[in-house]
Amino acid sequence: MEREAREQGLGVALSASVLFIRPGPLAPLETHTEVLRKGGRVGVLEATLLADGQVIAKGTASFVVPRPVEGTPAVAPQPCDPADLPHWELPRRPEHKTLFDALDIRDDGHGTKWARLLRRLVPYASPFANLFAVADNGTPFYLTAHGLAPFHLAFPNIDLAIHVSRAPGGEWIGVTAQSDWRPEGMGLTESALYDEHGLLGRACQTVVLMPRA
């Protein structure tokens, strides 16, 4: 969707939501993208991810063309360089490869994890997709930051929605997560998102709790 929006001149991605319909297989994937709206300043795209004809995920994203507005109160930048922070390691690593193996993750010791991708997701600029790759880890970031490790539970999220106030800048993304779980086997993880220039936006994930096999 980012590449299509760039080609269509739709501006900056400010919100996106992805619904994970079924697990993605280790197999070739196919993507179909459609422009739902191309207005004067606002554009909306939809993407469908398929494997062997089955829908794996569906996503929508909204884009806005920037235009200066005089008198707008501006948030002061809060620059941060996470490169000097200590590396973060999972308390117990899975036996198989996961997205954590594709991330350089740092811990500020105060509840915020910073991460950057070790390799590009796609052969073109995709700052919002990079943001998704880091923000999707909000739940494990929250658990480890609070000394919690319910390894008897699995906690997959069935969706991920992100809203930002501007385009992400730099390769590092910070995540300060908070989870609210319920005994009915469901819950929500909400994360404040940062980049190297300061506060960026928020992410929400609907979480399903189940016994770990």
Q: Which CATH architecture has domain 1-66?
A: Roll (3.10)
150 pLDDT exceeds 60?
no
The C-alpha atoms of residue 138 and residue 111 are separated, in whole angstroms, by: 11
Average pLDDT over residues 59-68: 96
What's the pTM? Answer: 0.93
Query: What pLDDT shows up at residue 151?
Result: 63
108 pLDDT exceeds 60?
yes
- CB 31 within 8 Å of CB 42: no
The C-alpha atoms of residue 31 and residue 13 are separated, in whole angstroms, by: 18
Query: How would you list the strands of the sheet with 12-20, edge to edge?
Result: 30-38, 42-51, 54-64, 12-20, 159-164, 198-208, 186-195, 173-182, 112-117, 103-107
The pLDDT-based confidence of 77 (bands split at 50, 70, 90) is confident
pLDDT in tens, 14-29: 999 999 999 989 899 9
Average pLDDT over residues 128-155: 86
Q: Which residue has the higher pLDDT, 120 or 95?
A: 120
- Determine the residue type at 174: G
CATH assignment, 81-213: 3.10.129.10
The C-alpha atoms of residue 134 and residue 207 are separated, in whole angstroms, by: 16
Query: What pLDDT shows up at residue 97?
Result: 82
Residue ranges of the chain assigned to CATH 3.10.129.10: 1-66, 81-213
- Determine the residue type at 143: L
The C-alpha atoms of residue 102 and residue 83 are separated, in whole angstroms, by: 16
Query: What pLDDT shows up at residue 47?
Result: 98
